[in-house]
């Protein structure tokens, strides 16, 4: 949860940042919903965690990481 | 459960914790007053958004996971998705709220839709009805978890010295909300103490959840692998780890039971809209926002918070089910598991985490709701019904604060009453998502109002009303039926046995999850009415102006556009500065009023600017819709009708909206003025030229006339004149008359050419023949003056475009000019040759030449260089000017250069006049071999 220094002063209105976030929203909306999510409802484990559970949280973390990066990289 | 903690110790710990929150809030308020704000931090902002996670998250997620597996997640994935859209949607809402000094979501919607008090009141009422039971749920959660911790039984009744824990908690929360949430009257200002306490609470509940989770996984079990392994061995638990309970097609009816994937999608959408529309979320996210740039950190930090607080939900649920089976309500696993594991302190921490979640939710929700109720319900009613009583009061701030505080207490009492009444009824347990669905009815009007300029007040009111009615029918009433307050047949058979009206299968829409079913019908009714009414509505100018102000918030800098319209005459009967000062002082206190209108004469008419300022100030305190009504009360009784003043305010908004248009028109007008001024200057110049021309012509005419007259008089008066003398005089008279005739002809020619009245016969003409004619016409003059004229015209020249008579005139003028300036015994030569696509004719003389500075002037009218040679005008001064105009009319060019050194101009002097004429179409190719001439 260490907060990055760089993002506080960034303009949240820049078109590039905005477009990236809209793209990320569409991607996340597709991945977080039944047809795609249901594909992982199978038996199996990943790192000792049920596959579906690990997949959802992994995906969630990746989306958050991308959201943080979207405002930081050019 | 078996071994509870001492209830007095738990109570003291809880009170100590709440006292610490009071201290933190007080400290943050002090820091703010000292100018060192603690809430001006993006991290604090993101943490304060954590008020989204109530006890419904803290205890309820585990309960949901115990039946739905990962089905508890959409409630958090929805807000995550919404935060991804923050740069688009939230940023705009934040900016609008700041510019228009919005005090709540009800105020936001009312302001957007023509400052409608009706819409504001409707939203405030819907939010209160929809959300207050949610507060009851928090009270219940605290009471139940207290019992679980201390080993008590029942619903937390009669174990303490006070009425019960629920009441105690409600009382403390009311106190906190009153002290830190309703202390100042300007609701658009921030509540730093409250926000700081919320951020801290968010941290505490996260730490508590993580601590319990770590303890459960690694303390009670041997890590994740072992826990999930043990659960996988039990078929009933193994299915929780798959997708079937959350996404499959289990046919268990009801909200908390498993459902098809429609529930997943519906929950995602509802929680995303709740993140925006819940009064407490709107409060922390929009009203309390200090800096919109904080959003860019909250965009990822808040979802990260949600992820972390949900990380151990499923492990805790599985562990609880393994440990307690069906003996214990899964909602209590968070407290019961540490207690069972012998970690009493951790159970206490978990309880405090749950208390944090409840306290944060209750405080912010009641503050937000009380602001709404005060500004959008009570004040408009007071202003309409008790106007005279209000007008007598000099300072209404205490009254407003009292209204808000009473509202806080009333909401909490209502919540507490609901908790006591509903108890463990279904209506309370399921209220989380039902509340989400209620506030989701604001979403279409909110989002539509940001981007659709054509959305109108009637559309918004209709949409919210229709959506709320359908919500009540498809979710609220069935929840009452399932609680036993309505007959069960209401759900099974429909009211009066009408199957088509069954609330969970409206119009025969069967097999849907009840939440998805309700979402579908409410969205259809809400959005359909909203769009339909808006499309056929004709909003007034003021409503349109306000809509544009919201939709185009990024196009115009706030305050940059000032109304420029002149004060219409009916303003004179309206409010004075003194009236405005009084009304602002009444709501905001005398100091604010003094500051706002400092330096203005109280008797002066207020005017649009000051009215707008007063409206803005009042909006920050009592909301946009009430501010206008309050302003109406500022006018002395009888001076002007309320309706009239409201109309004037509307016009003011209109003026602001259209002043941009006005500025554009002013700029156009300035450009037109500049063009007119330039045209006028040119006309003046032309007038001056005309005067010059006239005086010059007059002078030129008088010179020969004078000599003719003088000589004629001599001849007349003196009959004895010598015949020779007489002959000489008569010759002069004839010559001067000829000159006069020539001059008049040329002036006429010139006038005709300039007026475009000359008859042109432009056709292909034989250049050689034409030149020969001109030479023949002037040969006599050269002969007479003793000048040698030589001609170099090629045998066969191409046809050129021209008018024979005019071309002859040009050549004659040039030759006459040469004859005039070439001294006797000199030479003149005429040459013609093809050059490019045109015929170039040159007349070279061995005269004195023309000084470089005069070369551009010799083609002007009446410019003569003749007097430099002979001391008197040698020509009319119009010959060259006429030649120039003819050549240019025929599409050629005319010019003057030094005569080339050579046998012709031995002295190196002399002038070479030349002009060109375009070769006639189709002639160029045929005559190619002769290019260059044969001279």
A1 occurs within a structural domain: no
Q: φ, ψ for residue B547 (rounded to 5)?
A: -60, -45
* Helix ranges, chain A (H): 15-31, 34-38, 51-70
pLDDT above 60: residue B213: yes
Asked if residues B499 and B418 have their Cβ atoms less than 8 Å apart, the reply is no
Q: Give how far Cα B519 sits from Cα of B73, B244, B367, B439, Å.
A: 18, 22, 28, 12
- Tell whether B689 and B773 lie within a shared domain: no
8 Å CB contact of A67 and B268: no
Distance of alpha carbon B540 from alpha carbon B578, whole angstroms: 30
CA B547 to chain centroid, in Å, comes to 11
CATH classification at residue B394: 1.20.1730.10
A52 occurs within a structural domain: yes
8 Å CB contact of B554 and A13: yes
The per-residue pLDDT of chain B, averaged, comes to 80
For the stretch B78-87, pLDDT in tens is 999 999 988 8
What percent of chain B has pLDDT above 70? Answer: 84
pLDDT above 70: residue B532: yes
* Facing A63 at nearest CB: one of B80, B242, B308: B80
- Portion 18-47 of A in contact with B at CB < 8 A: 18, 21-22, 24-25, 28-29, 32-34, 37-38, 40-43, 45, 47
CB < 8 Å & 24+ apart, contacts of B860-865: B861/B693, B861/B696, B861/B750, B862/B693, B862/B696, B862/B697, B862/B700, B865/B821
Instruction: Count the domains in chain A.
Output: 1
Q: Which of B818, B385, B902, B880 has its CA nearest to residue B633?
A: B385
8 Å CB contact of B297 and A3: yes
pLDDT above 60: residue A12: no
Residues sharing a CB contact under 8 Å with residue B3, sequence separation 6 or more, in sequence order: B151, B339, B344
Q: Which of B491, B489, B497, B493 has its CA nearest to residue B517?
A: B491
Which pair of structure tokens corresponds to residue B930? 């002769």
B224 occurs within a structural domain: yes
pLDDT above 80: residue B88: yes
Mean pLDDT value of segment B836-859: 81
- Tell whether B793 and B744 lie within a shared domain: no
pLDDT above 50: residue B572: no
Query: What pTM value is reported for the model?
Result: 0.66
Domain that holds residue A39: 15-70
Q: Which of B772, B821, B765 has its CA nearest to residue B795?
A: B772
Chain B residues within an 8 Å CB radius of A71:
296, 299
Which tops the pLDDT comparison, B875 or B738?
B738
Chain B residues within an 8 Å CB radius of A40:
243
pLDDT above 50: residue B357: yes
Asked if residues B742 and B710 have their Cβ atoms less than 8 Å apart, the reply is no
- Portion 34-93 of B in contact with A at CB < 8 A: 42-43, 70, 73-74, 77, 80-81, 83-88, 91
CATH classification at residue B700: 1.10.287.130
B787 occurs within a structural domain: yes
- Tell whether B723 and B809 lie within a shared domain: no
Distance of alpha carbon B360 from alpha carbon B481, whole angstroms: 31
- Tell whether B291 and B382 lie within a shared domain: yes
- Tell whether B712 and B605 lie within a shared domain: no
* Facing A38 at nearest CB: one of B241, B247, B311: B247
Give the model's pLDDT for residue B820.
Answer: 82
8 Å CB contact of A3 and B301: yes
If pLDDT is split at 50, 70 and 90, which confidence band does A1 have? Answer: very low
Listed in order, strand segments (DSSP E) in B490-644 are: none
Asked if residues B37 and B290 have their Cβ atoms less than 8 Å apart, the reply is yes
8 Å CB contact of B228 and A50: yes
Distance of alpha carbon A65 from alpha carbon A59, whole angstroms: 10
- Tell whether B640 and B670 lie within a shared domain: no
If pLDDT is split at 50, 70 and 90, which confidence band does B649 have? Answer: low
**Nearest residue in B to A67, CA atom:** B300
For the stretch B397-407, pLDDT in tens is 778 888 888 88
Which tops the pLDDT comparison, B317 or B35?
B317
Residue B268 sits at the chain A interface (C-beta within 8 Å): yes
Chain A residues within an 8 Å CB radius of B83:
67
- Tell whether B253 and B352 lie within a shared domain: yes
Mean pLDDT value of segment B152-167: 52
Asked if residues B361 and B278 have their Cβ atoms less than 8 Å apart, the reply is no
- Out of B400, B434, B468, pick the residue that ends a domain: B434
Diameter of chain B measured on Cα atoms: 165
Give the model's pLDDT for residue B875.
Answer: 55
Distance of alpha carbon B516 from alpha carbon B509, whole angstroms: 11
Q: Give how far Cα B800 sits from Cα of B252, B327, B756, B769, B885, Å.
A: 102, 117, 22, 11, 17
pLDDT above 50: residue B327: yes
Distance from CA of A50 to the nearest CA of B (A): 6
Which pair of structure tokens corresponds to residue B136? 């009851």
Mutation target for B interface from A23, A54, A60, A66: give the one with most B CBs within 10 A: A60
Residues sharing a CB contact under 8 Å with residue B355, sequence separation 6 or more, in sequence order: B14, B17, B18, B142, B145, B169
**Nearest residue in A to B315, CA atom:** A49
B562 occurs within a structural domain: no
B26 occurs within a structural domain: yes
- Portion 307-326 of B in contact with A at CB < 8 A: 307-308, 311, 314
Which pair of structure tokens corresponds to residue B202? 């968010």
Give the model's pLDDT for residue B934.
Answer: 38
Give the model's pLDDT for residue B250.
Answer: 40
B551 occurs within a structural domain: no
Mean pLDDT value of segment B545-552: 82
Asked if residues B175 and B167 have their Cβ atoms less than 8 Å apart, the reply is no
8 Å CB contact of A7 and B42: yes
Highest mean pLDDT (candidates A20-29, B318-327, B589-598): A20-29
Distance from CA of B346 to the nearest CA of A (A): 23
Give the model's pLDDT for residue B908.
Answer: 54
- Tell whether B26 and B61 lie within a shared domain: yes
For the stretch B856-865, pLDDT in tens is 777 776 555 4
pLDDT above 50: residue B802: yes
Chain A residues within an 8 Å CB radius of B77:
32, 60
Residues sharing a CB contact under 8 Å with residue B588, sequence separation 6 or more, in sequence order: B185, B186, B397, B617, B618, B621
Highest mean pLDDT (candidates B319-333, B490-504, B654-668): B319-333
- Out of B718, B751, B784, pick the residue that ends a domain: B751
What percent of chain B has pLDDT above 90? Answer: 11
B782 occurs within a structural domain: yes
8 Å CB contact of B80 and A21: no
Which tops the pLDDT comparison, B322 or B425?
B322
Give the model's pLDDT for residue B188.
Answer: 63
Give the model's pLDDT for residue B932.
Answer: 42
A30 occurs within a structural domain: yes
- Tell whether B298 and B411 lie within a shared domain: yes
Residue B799 backbone class (left: φ over 0; alpha: ψ -120 to 50; beta: rest): beta
Handedness of CA B692, B698, B702, B705 (dihedral sign): positive
- Tell whether B20 and B165 lie within a shared domain: yes
- Tell whether B133 and B23 lie within a shared domain: yes
What DSSP designation does B908 have?
S
Mean pLDDT value of segment B168-183: 78
For the stretch B21-68, pLDDT in tens is 888 888 888 888 888 888 888 898 999 999 998 888 888 888 888 888
Mutation target for B interface from A2, A6, A13, A16: give the one with most B CBs within 10 A: A13
Asked if residues B261 and B350 have their Cβ atoms less than 8 Å apart, the reply is no
Asked if residues B343 and B215 have their Cβ atoms less than 8 Å apart, the reply is yes
- Out of B434, B465, B487, pick the residue that ends a domain: B434
Burial per residue of B137-170, b for 16 or more beta-carbon CB atoms within 10 angstroms, e otherwise: bbbbbbbbbbbbbbebeebbbebbeeebbbbbbb
- Tell whether B770 and B888 lie within a shared domain: yes
If pLDDT is split at 50, 70 and 90, which confidence band does B570 have? Answer: very low
Give the model's pLDDT for residue B1.
Answer: 42
pLDDT above 90: residue B671: no
Q: Which of B83, B384, B343, B329 has its CA nearest to residue B213?
A: B343
Mean pLDDT value of segment B710-721: 86
8 Å CB contact of A50 and B223: no
Residues sharing a CB contact under 8 Å with residue B558, sequence separation 6 or more, in sequence order: B99
B503 occurs within a structural domain: no
Least confident window among B503-512, B598-607, B809-818: B598-607
Mean pLDDT value of segment B478-495: 80
8 Å CB contact of B244 and A41: yes
Distance of alpha carbon B393 from alpha carbon B637, whole angstroms: 14
Give the model's pLDDT for residue A61.
Answer: 93
Domain that holds residue B592: 569-657
B453 occurs within a structural domain: no
Q: Which of B866, B777, B864 has its CA nearest to residue B821?
A: B866
Give the model's pLDDT for residue B375.
Answer: 84
Give the model's pLDDT for residue B640.
Answer: 47
Chain B residues within an 8 Å CB radius of A64:
80, 300, 303-304, 307
A56 occurs within a structural domain: yes
Residues sharing a CB contact under 8 Å with residue B59, sequence separation 6 or more, in sequence order: B141, B145, B331, B332, B334, B354
Distance of alpha carbon B298 from alpha carbon B87, whole angstroms: 11
Which pair of structure tokens corresponds to residue B882? 């006429």
- Cβ-based neighbour number of residue B695 at 10 Å: 11
For the stretch A16-71, pLDDT in tens is 888 888 899 999 988 887 777 777 666 667 777 788 888 888 989 999 999 888 87
A61 occurs within a structural domain: yes
Give the model's pLDDT for residue B33.
Answer: 81
If pLDDT is split at 50, 70 and 90, which confidence band does B717 have? Answer: confident
**Nearest residue in A to B292, CA atom:** A12
What DSSP designation does A49 have?
E
Give the model's pLDDT for residue B614.
Answer: 79
pLDDT above 80: residue B253: no
Q: Give how far Cα B439 sits from Cα of B56, B163, B276, B607, B758, Å.
A: 17, 32, 9, 40, 86
Q: What is the number of residues in chain B? A: 935
A44 occurs within a structural domain: yes
Instruction: Count the domains in chain B.
Output: 4
Distance of alpha carbon B786 from alpha carbon B783, whole angstroms: 5
A2 occurs within a structural domain: no
Residue with tokens 């001849």: B715
Q: 3-class secondary structure for B753-818?
A: HHHCCCCCCCEEEEHHHHHHHHHHHHHHHHHHHCCEEEEECCCCCCEEEECHHHHHHHHHHHHHHH
* Facing B297 at nearest CB: one of A8, A13, A53: A8
**Nearest residue in A to B242, CA atom:** A41
- Cβ-based neighbour number of residue B759 at 10 Å: 8
pLDDT above 70: residue B301: yes
Asked if residues B272 and B306 have their Cβ atoms less than 8 Å apart, the reply is no
């Amino acid at each position: 949860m260490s907060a990055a220094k760089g993002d506080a002063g960034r303009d949240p209105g820049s078109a590039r940042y905005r477009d990236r976030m809209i793209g990320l929203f569409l991607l996340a909306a597709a991945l977080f919903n039944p047809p795609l999510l249901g594909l992982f409802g199978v038996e199996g484990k990943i790192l000792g965690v049920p596959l579906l559970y690990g997949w959802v949280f992994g995906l969630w973390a990746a989306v958050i990481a991308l959201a943080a990066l979207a405002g930081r990289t050019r | 459960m078996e071994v509870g903690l001492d209830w007095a110790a738990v109570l003291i710990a809880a009170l100590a914790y709440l006292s610490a929150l009071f201290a933190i809030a007080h400290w943050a308020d002090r820091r703010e007053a000292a100018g060192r704000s603690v809430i001006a931090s993006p991290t604090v902002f993101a943490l304060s958004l954590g008020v989204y996670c109530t006890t419904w998250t803290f205890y309820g997620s585990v309960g949901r996971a115990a039946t739905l597996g990962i089905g508890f997640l959409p409630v958090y994935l929805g807000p995550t998705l919404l935060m991804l859209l923050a740069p688009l949607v939230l940023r705009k809402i934040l900016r609008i709220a700041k510019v228009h000094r919005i005090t709540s979501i009800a105020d936001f919607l009312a302001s957007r839709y023509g400052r409608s008090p009706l819409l504001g009141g409707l939203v405030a009422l819907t939010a209160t009805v929809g959300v207050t039971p949610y507060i009851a749920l928090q009270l219940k959660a605290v009471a139940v978890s207290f019992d679980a911790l201390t080993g008590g039984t029942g619903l937390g009744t009669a174990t303490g010295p006070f009425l019960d824990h629920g009441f105690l908690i409600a009382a403390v929360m009311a106190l906190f909300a009153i002290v830190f949430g309703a202390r100042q009257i300007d609701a658009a200002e921030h509540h730093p103490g409250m926000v700081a306490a919320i951020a801290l609470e968010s941290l505490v509940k996260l730490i508590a959840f993580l601590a319990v989770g770590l303890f459960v996984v690694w303390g009670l079990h041997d890590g994740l692998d072992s826990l999930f392994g043990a659960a996988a061995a039990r078929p009933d638990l193994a299915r929780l780890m798959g997708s079937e309970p959350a996404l499959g097609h289990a046919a268990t009816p009801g909200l908390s039971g498993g459902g098809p994937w429609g529930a997943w999608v519906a929950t995602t959408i509802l929680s995303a809209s709740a993140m925006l529309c819940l009064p407490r979320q709107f409060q922390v996210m929009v009203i309390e926002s200090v800096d919109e740039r904080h959003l860019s950190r909250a965009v990822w930090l808040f979802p990260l918070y949600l992820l972390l607080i949900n990380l151990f939900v499923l492990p805790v649920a599985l562990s609880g089910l393994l440990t307690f089976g069906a003996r214990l309500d899964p909602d209590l696993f968070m407290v019961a598991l540490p207690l069972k594991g012998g970690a009493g302190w951790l159970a206490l921490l978990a309880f405090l985490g749950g208390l944090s979640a409840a306290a944060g939710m209750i405080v912010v929700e009641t503050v937000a709701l009380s602001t709404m109720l005060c500004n959008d319900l009570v004040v408009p009613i007071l202003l309409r019904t008790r106007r005279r009583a209000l007008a007598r009061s000099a300072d209404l701030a205490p009254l407003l604060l009292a209204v808000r505080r009473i509202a806080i207490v009333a909401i909490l009492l209502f919540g507490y009453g609901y908790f006591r009444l509903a108890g463990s009824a279904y209506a309370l347990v399921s209220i989380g998502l039902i509340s989400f669905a209620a506030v989701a009815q604001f979403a279409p009007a909110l989002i539509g109002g940001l981007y659709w300029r054509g959305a109108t007040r009637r559309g918004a009111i209709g949409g919210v009303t229709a959506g709320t009615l359908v919500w009540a029918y498809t979710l609220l009433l069935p929840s009452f039926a399932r609680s036993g307050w309505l007959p069960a047949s209401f759900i099974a058979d429909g009211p009066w046995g009408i199957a088509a009206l069954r609330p969970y299968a409206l119009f025969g829409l069967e097999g849907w999850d009840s939440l998805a079913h309700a979402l579908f019908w409410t969205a259809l009714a809400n959005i359909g009415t909203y769009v339909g009414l808006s499309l056929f509505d004709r909003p007034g100018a003021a409503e349109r102006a306000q809509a544009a102000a919201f939709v185009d918030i990024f196009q115009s800098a706030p305050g940059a556009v000032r109304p420029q319209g002149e004060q219409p005459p009916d303003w004179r009967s309206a409010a004075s500065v003194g009236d405005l000062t009084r009304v602002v002082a009444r709501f905001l206190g005398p100091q604010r009023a003094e500051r706002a209108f400092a330096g203005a004469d109280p008797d002066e008419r207020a005017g649009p600017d000051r009215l707008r300022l007063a409206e803005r100030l009042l909006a920050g305190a009592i909301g946009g819709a009430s501010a206008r009504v309050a302003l109406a009360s500022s006018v002395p009784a009888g001076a002007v009708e309320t309706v009239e003043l409201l109309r004037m305010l509307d016009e003011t908004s209109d003026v602001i909206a259209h002043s941009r248009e006005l500025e554009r028109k002013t700029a156009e007008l300035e450009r037109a003025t500049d063009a007119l001024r330039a045209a006028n200057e040119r006309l003046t110049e032309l007038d001056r030229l005309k005067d010059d021309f006239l005086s010059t012509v007059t002078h030129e005419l008088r010179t020969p006339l004078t000599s003719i007259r003088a000589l004629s008089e001599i001849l007349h008066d003196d009959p004895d004149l010598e015949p020779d003398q007489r002959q000489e005089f008569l010759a002069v008279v004839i010559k001067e008359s000829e000159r006069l005739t020539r001059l008049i002809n040329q002036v006429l020619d010139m006038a005709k050419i300039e007026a475009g009245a000359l008859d042109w016969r432009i056709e292909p003409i034989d250049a050689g023949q034409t030149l020969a004619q001109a030479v023949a016409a002037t040969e006599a003059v050269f002969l007479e003056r003793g000048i040698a004229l030589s001609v170099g015209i090629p045998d066969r020249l191409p046809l050129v475009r021209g008018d024979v008579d005019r071309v002859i005139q040009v050549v004659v003028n040039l030759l006459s000019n040469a004859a005039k300036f070439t001294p006797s015994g000199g030479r003149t030569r005429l040459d013609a040759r093809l050059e490019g696509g045109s015929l170039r004719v040159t007349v070279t003389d061995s005269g004195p030449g023309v000084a470089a500075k005069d070369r551009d002037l010799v083609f002007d009218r009446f410019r003569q260089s003749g007097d430099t040679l002979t001391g008197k005008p040698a020509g009319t001064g119009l010959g060259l000017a006429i030649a120039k105009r003819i050549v240019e009319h025929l599409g050629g060019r005319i010019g003057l250069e030094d005569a080339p050194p050579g046998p012709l101009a031995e002295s190196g002097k002399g002038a070479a006049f030349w002009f060109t004429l375009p070769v006639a179409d189709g002639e160029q190719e045929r005559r190619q071999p002769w290019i260059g001439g044969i001279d």
